[in-house]
Amino acid sequence: MTQLTPEEEKRAITEAPKGTWAVLLVYLLLMVGGWAAMFFGLFLSHGPVH
């Protein structure tokens, strides 16, 4: 494994992990989409509670 220069090491420590945020965003969108599908497709399609 190659050694990082001090500048590269400092940049790696101070920058936000962009790939992690991208994965979290995709996961959030899937969760919100699944919730909306369940809510509108299953629950609201049955009408009000009697």
Domains of the chain by residue range: 14-46
pTM above 0.75, yes or no: no
Tokens of 27: 């996961």
Task: Tell me the per-residue pLDDT of 3-32, one tens digit each, with 9 for 90 and over.
Answer: 889 898 888 888 878 899 999 999 999 999
The pLDDT value given to residue 38: 94
3-state SS of 1-50 is CCCCCHHHHHHHHHCCCHHHHHHHHHHHHHHHHHHHHHHHHHHHHHCCCC
